[in-house]
Structure 1
Amino acid sequence: MRTGDPANAIYGTILVAAVVAAEDPEHTESFEIALTVAVTVMVFWLAHGYSRVVSDRLSTGTKPSLGEVRAALAEHWPIVQAAVPPMVALGIAVAAGASVVGAQQAALGTSVVLLAIWGTVAGRACQLTGWRLV
């Protein structure tokens, strides 16, 4: 199992941003956006776990153990975790009386900020500065 690899969290953040951005606030309520995000990230999490297990079977030709299935799902759990900050932002916006558009923008903005943070951390790890970091 790959540990400490942020790829799944980054992927999850992109997935959440795409789902939130695709929703039409004129025909969707905030809770429907949250539900769509939750279902989507769960499906993608299971799909990624499944693909890991099947891929490993193709490589090894052996039957997977329960531990291997759990490890595959655990490896991809950050896809689901990545939905939490944008959905918290959506919930806070709704609780503060924001419109669906406002709540959607809060969730999308949170996703963009998280992606910018990931990019900045990666750039710093490469010792980029100034415009190259931007």
Structure 2
Amino acid sequence: MSESTPPEAAGYDRAAVLGERLKERIYASLTLLAVLVGLAQGGHATHKGATVAVAATAIGLWLATLVADMQAHPVVHGSRPTLHDIRHELFTSSPLLTSAIGPLLLTAVSALGAVDLTTALWIAAGSEVATLALWGFVGGRRAGAGALHATVTSALNAAIGLGVVSVKLLAGH
């Protein structure tokens, strides 16, 4: 299934597929958040090192998800995954890769001299927390919650992201 193929056209429930993609994006945000804080906190990151760490994290998460999904398929369904199943997994897991775009762009901006690398890494970490908060707010509103309830959900999502930051800061590097 390509990015332009509607999930329902491929035999999947659109809402379920979008939910899977969002779940993967949130997992990736939390994981990348820990990596970004570790890099920023360490104070010795280089542009190349930050690029490799962010890209390796995203690719590693993506590959681990694909391996786990492909190994789980025969256990659950009693058959090997079909090409259709593999395409579905590639589509739903792609946010694990796209989550690295922001941090990589900020690292590139830093490499061009626009901002210090540590600052760029902290901005990337802050944007990951903000993204978690945004998903909480959007999810609350889509579920029919009022602005106050959606804001509370947003704050809880941000608190989870800030919890990851706090653990990394308390643990040191």
Task: Confirm or deny a common fold (TM above 0.5).
Answer: yes
Percent identity, please.
23
1:3 paired with 2:17, answer yes
Equivalent position of 1:18 in the other structure: 34
1:114 paired with 2:108, answer no
Structure 1 position 57, deviation (Å)? 0.7
- In structure 1, list runs of 5 or more residues that go unmatched: none
Q: How many residues align?
A: 134
Q: Distance in 1 between matches of 2:103 and 2:127?
A: 5
TM-score by length of 2: 0.68
TM-score by length of 1: 0.85
Query: Contact between 1:9 and 1:79, CA under 8 Å: does it hold in 2?
Result: yes
Q: How does 1:1-134 map to 2 (within 5 A)?
A: 2-5=16-19, 6-23=22-39, 24-126=41-143, 127-130=145-148, 133-134=151-152
Q: 1:94 to 1:116 in 2, by over 3 A?
A: farther
Q: Distance in 2 between matches of 1:132 and 1:76?
A: 26
Structural RMSD (CA): 2.1
Question: Which deviates more, 38-47 or 57-66?
Answer: 57-66
- In structure 2, list runs of 5 or more residues that go unmatched: 1-11, 153-173
Q: Distance in 1 between matches of 2:117 and 2:69?
A: 37
Q: Which deviations, in whole Å up to 9, do the C-alpha atoms of 1:20-79 show, x marking residues without a partner?
A: 112244222133112101011111101111111111110122122334233222221111
Structure with bigger RCO (C-alpha 8 Å, 6+ apart): 1
Equivalent position of 2:160 in the other structure: none
